[in-house]
Structure 1
Amino acid sequence: ERARTVPRSEPSGPRPGDGRYRIEHEIGRGGMGRVFLAEDQRLGRRVALKTRLGEGERAAARFQQEARATAQLEHPNIVPVYDLDHDEEGQTRFTMRLVEGRPLAEVLQSLARGEGTMARAFGPAELLLVFTKVCDAVAYAHSRGVLHRDLKPDNIMLGRYGEAFVMDWGLARVGDVDVGPGLGPDRIKSDSGEQITIVGSVVGTPGYMSPEQARGAREEVDARSDVFSLGAILYEILTYRRAFAGDHTAALIAATILAEVVPPTQVVPDRPIVAALEPACMRALAREPDDRFDSVRALRDAVAEALEGSREAARRRATAEERLETSRAHQLEHDRLGAQARDRRADAERRLAELPVTAVPEREALFDELGDVEALEARARAAFWEAYGRLISGVREDPSFQPAREALVELLLSRAGELRRNGDSSTAADLEAIARQHDRERAEARLDDPAHLTVESTPPGATVSVVRFVERGPLWEERAASGPELTPGAYAADLRLPDRPAVRATFRLAPGERRNLKVHLPEMGAVEEGFVYVPGGAYLVGGDRLAPEAGPRAEITLRGFAIATHLVTMKEYAAFLNALDDEEAARRAPRIGNTSYWTPANGRYEVPFTDPDGDEIGADWPVCMLSASDADAYARWRSAQTGRLVRLPTSDEWEVAAGGGDGRVFPWGDGFDPSLCRMLTSAPRAGPCPVGSYPRDRSPFGVLDAAGLVREHTSTEIDGQRVVRGGAWPAAPVQCRIGRRSLLGPDETYVTFGFRLAHDV
């Protein structure tokens, strides 16, 4: 029974009352009695007046014993008994302090429903303070030899001003004497309040009573039985759920005796205070009394100690939350400045690439613009590291605060992705490694979130095999892959159809991307012998900050084209010169300025030959010392000879054919070694060599010698100048990067400039 204000209900029969007490209305009813709101007219105060239900001497004795047991317990958290007497009809009654408030059960039910008003009034700290007060009351009762035996949220009243009271001592035991029912057929209360007759000595409320109470083992019931009930209450405070579930009383009793309690952290894994208090809660709920706390005081001390630790945890959590919140402002600043810098750099680099080298004032103005861009980029980097510092501080302050850890991983991986798009794979890998250190599972899930690939061929029906490019030192090696789910990274798909040439399509898959790759397979004969086909599609170009004049990273779309595997050789160019008249041939022969490096012998250009510097020039060496106009003239002659229109590749076509358009730095991967291409330190003496001598200088499409040997003219023109691509035999490593570009007048020559051909498909 609870002495509290409830909606008025009329009791059956006459209301009790006499000259001292003026009865107003019934406010509660239980198995042993009724409680009325009354006014003590002698003392002028409102009280809760309890009368018994049931007839007979046994019921009267139990009722008086309850009053006397409660009266012995003078404690701030136990409702005091004011008086025990008889009414005019001789019926026993006693009065208590009137408590106006609500039961803990009502509060927990509201919290379970997510009611915000209740959550603001009763947070975890407030509820645990209530729990410690309840423990104080029960510990005091135990010190007086009184066991409650029916502790539950319904029997804990919360006053309006922070008071907490343990109510309803009707089932208490004083020493070895039962106050309430205990022998013979007992009436116990179910969770719904229904009175259910249980045969035996079961005393308490199913779901909160201890296993020994549930078994009816009265001789085993002691202070640790109340500890168990308090553990069930603590469990409900922590989780807003009951420790034991059952559709009916028998099921609840069986669960109490047999079921394993689900740890609170598995019910609510996101509350630090739950983790702190779980050990105490689970120990209190141990099935065997010997495994529980020896006393309620020990339970209370364990909760208080954990609560103190949780206060420190709460302070750390608040600090971590503040770090997370302030980091977001720095992240936004980084994103804003980074976007501005990207747009301005792309514009400045585009305009710079279009200016001739001789436009010095205009180029210097753009240098100033790029200086401003670099200042913006520096501010963006500072904002990134400020956000990183805030988040790492939050993680260190509270390692269990997942939002800060997740934000840190996302920040690092986002920056790593940005760096990879800009060609800085090394720094990106460092940031990814840091992300893995903080949350390996999340980082790898983010980095390795499977991409989904489907491939459609035109004509349909092609067989498809997929390879993934995997780093091995400086090289990207091919390894077989199978789908449709693929790890993010760079790939190639090889398609084959009968009566069609095999086609390779390259692509890069981002984490979680869904890619439908459409590939056209040309007819037999559509691709010139000695050429490789590059299918139409989307490709990455630019973005290599270390490559001179590389331009910004961009995704472009190309139509399918074919490009020569090899550079045009001296032997092939000799056939062209020999087809020209002497004057035209002399004008188109390799030269530097007015000095010709190839003169005819007996009216014909023959190879091998010795040039003016005394070098032996081989037939399979790449032709060089030519202008873009010379290359165009050769392409026109070759087209007339074969009947197929050939041309120089565009700058974008060359870059995609040379690197696969998948973001790599060199044709073979991202690392460099002088043994991989013909460049300055590849041989004891710098100079050209036969084409194809460096098989590792090979693109995914099969294009050879793009990183070294000679630089290559393209058909792309900017302000009257031609774009030149590739590395060369006297080049340093940075000049061998496929992103490198430069401009040269169409009629200008240079010692290392040659070309290769392309044609439309």
Structure 2
Amino acid sequence: MSARPGAEEEGRYEDLGPIAAGGMGEVRRVRDRVLGRIVAMKVLLPERLHLPDAVGRFVEEARTAAVLQHPGMIPVHELGWLPDGRPYFTMEEVRGRTLADAIRELHAASDRVYRPPASGLGLVGLLEAVRQVCAAVGFAHARGVVHRDLKPSNVMLGRHGEVRVVDWGIARIGEAAGPLDEEEPLRPAFETQGRLTGTPRYMAPEQVTGGVVGPQVDVWALGCILYELLSGRAPYASDDTLEVLALLASDAPIPAPSQRTPLPVDPALDALVAEALRPDPAERPAHAGVLAARLGAWLEGESRRQRAEARVAEARGLLERAEAAQVEAVEAERRASELLRDVADADPEERKAPGWAEQDRARELRRDARRYGTEAEIALQAALADAPDAVEIRRMLAARHHAAHAAAEAIKDHDAAERAEGFLRAELALLPDSPERRAWARWLEGTGELTLVTDPPGAVVRAHRYVPHGRRLVTREEGVLGTTPLIRVPLGSGSWLLTLEHPERETVRYPVFLERAGVWDGVPPEGGDPVPVWLPPRGSLAPDDCYVPAGWFLAGEEGHPLVRRWADAFVAKRMPVDNAAFIAFLDDLVRSGQEERALEVCPRDDFNKAGASTPIYGRRADGTFFLQPDADGDLWEPGWPVMMLGLPSFLAYAAWRSERDGLPWRLPGSYEWEKAARG
């Protein structure tokens, strides 16, 4: 500078050095001694002082900036003249960097995806800055002001998040356009045909061809800024000014930003850029406020999408924790079973405590799993509020409801199953077609597959479904499924009784429980082919014999998930061994010379205690047994189940019966009891 700033008012401004310089003037940092603050002072360059209109344009820039009182504009404090006649104006100093610097840093840090640099904003933050620029320029357009030289280097990003549009040096003021609340075209701020003004890379075609210049030239420039932010380069990025001008004049096609960068560009942003860069000004958004609104809508959607993604990530983590807790609970239950397997009810608590501790831990883990699952569902519902059309969120919710439905059915919690089914149906109604959706629909439909092989083949299979009636389950015939072998025959889920009818064999009752969309095939635990259901020859079973065919059944306690177990075929008596049958056994022992053995195994009043005890049955003179009143005076009936026996007595009876009938009679195991009872 040839003269110190503020020389006319000696001592008010202290020069602290240059900030920047441009074609028209330079900006210096000064201290305002009167107000005690640091401000920026823009001064016309000495060599520009005598150029036509230079002073007028400089003063117009100051006055234009002064009338645009908006958060996106730099406030102007004072307009004055130096002793050498050069004008100056002071304004707020924005400390920070330009948008051009931020864009370069973003693309230098990005590889395949946009990554925020260590010292700057990421893509969304810079898009918000561009939105604020659009809003500020839209404010100017509403007041009839067109900037005409918008570019990334004319946007300042302050240290405290402020975004300011600078360098209004070639702006023009025309007729005020009124409130900025509609997308109707503004009246041109001015209409002029004249010399070329602006920066070629960001100039609109009409600025080059001498057409009507209005707010749409700024819309074009803002489209160029957005283009550069997304792709890392201007639409016409040549260093040859004449080449850029020729491309502008010829309306050369501009590839979408997504075609100029390997980084992922949202198609909606591609479309917004394309709209702003239409060669015909009339086809562009009418003013910058339209761009601000559309970019704001996209950012709001992006913000909601990011919130949704964060909540989905939270839900995934919670579901993983829920699954891990379930796995630990199963392991704790297994350890508890091992620890308590050989512990009797009468054992001291010290022996039971380790097993009880594992049971308590399993219950706590299952509570944790339920809590994590509930929290995950809450997070997914919150994510859905931000992204109602997100298929992945609905898919995760559907998977959650499917799992809840399966778990509720496993423990026969009908209310919970009905609730989960309702939620699952609601989600499926909103999901697009996919293999997973079709699988869930089949699950709700409940149809499974039955494979059934018999020995010999050729049995007619009639299906009877168990249905509730009169507060109990009864069978209802549904029809004939076919003749064995049946291979992958469709059958609804639930409990069924199949009757297998063969002309040369006994009719066999074959219970089937088919899980939703499940498969019943009779394949044993070791795998391989299905085990054929053996059909006993006609007349081989006594009237009180119950033939239990081999197969799977569900075992376990009510209120807990049932476990599938396999049982080989066996025949059980329909009724327990009664007094009449047991007396026949004892009498046979007596007649065969085993009277002492008969006395050892007969019912006694204190059969569990050591020492002498009294037989329950009476004795005849020949040593045989008969029913007599017990010690309480009660007379046992012949058809009552035999009682007051120890295990050796039952084993002795089974051995005697096997020898007599030629069949391997034995006591049923606990799972065989359950298989015979459950079917």
Q: Aligned to 1:624, which of 640, 643, 652? A: 643
1:612 aligns with 2:631: yes
* Per-residue deviation, 1:453: 2.2
The answer for the alignment partner of 1:485 in structure 2 is 490
Match of 1:107 in 2: 256
Is 1:448 aligned to residue 445 of structure 2?
yes
Give the equivalent residue in structure 2 for 1:637: 656
Cα pair 1:320 1:397 within 8 Å, conserved:
yes
1:105–1:540 distance in 2 versus 1, CA, 3 Å = farther
Change (3 A) 1:495 1:166: same
Q: Does 1:462 align with 2:602?
A: no
Q: Structure 2, unaligned stretches of length 5 or more?
A: 1-193, 222-243, 431-436, 482-487, 523-529, 608-612
- Please give the alpha-carbon distance, in whole angstroms, between the structure 1 residues aligned to 2:266 and 2:200: 31
Give the corresponding residue for 1:369.
358
Q: What residue number does 2:617 align with?
A: 599
Q: Deviations over 1:423-451 (max 9, x none)?
A: 65654454444444554686654333532
1:649 aligns with 2:636: no
Alpha-carbon offset, residue 494 of structure 1: 2.6
Q: 1:626 to 1:424 in 2, by over 3 A?
A: farther
**Alignment correspondent of 1:71:** 211
1:412 alignment partner AA: H
- Structure with greater contact order relative to length (CA < 8 Å, sep ≥ 6): 1
CA 318–41 in structure 1, closer or farther in 2 if over 3 Å, else same: closer
Percentage of pairs with the same residue: 24
Q: What amino acid is the match of 2:269?
A: E
2:392 and 2:496 mapped to 1: Cα distance?
34
Q: Which amino acid in the other structure matches residue 71 of structure 1?
A: G
2:273 equivalent among 125, 130, 143: 130
Contact conserved, 1:597 with 1:612, CA < 8 A, in 2? no
CA contact (8 A) 1:589 1:596 kept: no
Residue 475 (structure 1) aligned to one of 472, 475, 480: 472
Counterpart residue number, 1:144: none
Are residue 353 (structure 1) and residue 344 (structure 2) matched?
no
Question: For the structure 1 residues 490 and 72, does the alpha-carbon distance in structure 2 shift closer, same or farther, using more than 3 Å as the test?
Answer: same
2: CA distance, partners of 1:128 / 1:491? 60
Q: CA deviation at 1:322?
A: 1.9
Please tell me the residue identity of whatever aligns with 1:655. E
**Is the CA contact 2:602–2:645 (under 8 Å) kept in the aligned structure 1?**
yes
Superposition TM-score, scaled by structure 1 size: 0.47
- Aligned pair count reads 422
* Map of 2:499 onto structure 1: 494
Retained in 1: the 8 A contact 2:196–2:208?
A: no
C-alpha distance in structure 2 between counterparts of 1:466 and 1:45, whole Å: 85
Cα distance in 2 for residues equivalent to 1:335 and 1:433: 23
Distance change in 2, residues 1:616/1:97 (3 Å): farther
Does the Cα contact within 8 Å between 1:539 and 1:556 map onto a contact in 2? yes
CA spacing shift, 1:123–1:590, aligned 2, 3 Å:
same
- Alignment partners' CA distance in 2, 1:67 and 1:363: 91
Matches within 5 A, 1:318-467: 318-360=306-348, 361-421=350-410, 427-436=416-425, 438-439=427-428, 444-448=441-445, 450-467=447-464
> Partners of 2:317 and 2:207 in 1: how far apart?
64
Question: Is the contact made by 1:317 and 1:401 (CA closer than 8 Å) also made in structure 2?
Answer: no
Q: Deviations over 1:213-267 (max 9, x none)?
A: xxxxxxxxxx9xx8xxx9xxxxxxxxxxxxxxxxxxxxxxxxxxxxxxxxxxxxx
CA distance in 2, matches of 1:569, 1:68: 113
- Tell me what 1:165 maps to: 278
Asked if residue 537 in structure 1 is aligned to residue 542 in structure 2, the reply is no
1:499 deviation in Å?
0.9
2: distance between equivalents of 1:128 and 1:98? Answer: 21
Q: CA RMSD in A?
A: 4.5
The letter of the residue matching 1:130 is V
Letter in structure 1 aligned against 2:272: L
- 1:518-556 Cα offsets, whole Å, 9 max, x none, are 43223315545422222223333225457xxxxx85433
Q: Report the CA distance shift for 1:399/1:117 in structure 2 as closer, same or farther (over 3 A).
A: same
Whether the 8 Å contact between 2:256 and 2:274 is mirrored in structure 1 is no
In structure 1, the gaps of 5 or more residues are 1-39, 49-65, 81-94, 134-163, 170-222, 231-295, 547-551, 661-761
* 1:502–1:521 CA contact under 8 A, matched in 2: no
SS at match of 1:538: strand
